[in-house]
Amino acid sequence: MSIKKLAVVVLFGSLTLGFSSVARADLYMQWVRPNKTDCPSVCGKTGLKYPVPTGIDEKGKLSFHICLAFGDDKWGRGTRVGFNRNGELSCITVVDNKMYSSKEYYCQCSNDPRPRIPR
């Protein structure tokens, strides 16, 4: 998957989250800060249980999850939406067709066990 296509998938997935919460009153999401773990692990330890997916790998497994990178870095101050891969301890963001890895991030967790992936 190209970096541009991955960035579009992450952005589209994060933008549609707001609309889905309007349509389903029982859907609840929260940003959770991981402590030396990936998004599936930290969400599994909360009452919400499920990381919000944003992509699948070449085997069809949900392995990319929405995260929020923050802090001062090469591309400025503030926050950026990105993705966390299973087993990795960072949030990957794409800016100007370049990938950046941030160790300071939050994972988006949900109570919805039925993920929807934009394709």
Task: Supply the pLDDT for residue 11.
Answer: 45
Within 1-119, strands assigned E span 29-32, 50-51, 53-56, 62-73, 76-85, 91-95, 98-102, 105-110
Q: Is residue 19 part of a domain?
A: yes
- 19-23, 89-93, 95-99: least confidently modelled range: 19-23
Per the structure, the count of domains in the chain is 1
| Bridge partner list, 51 | 109
Quote the domain boundaries for residue 74. Answer: 3-110
pTM for the full model?
A: 0.69
Q: Is residue 119 part of a domain?
A: no
pLDDT band at 19; cut points 50, 70, 90: very low
Task: Supply the pLDDT for residue 109.
Answer: 93
Report the C-alpha gap between 93 and 6 in whole angstroms. Answer: 10
Q: Is residue 115 part of a domain?
A: no
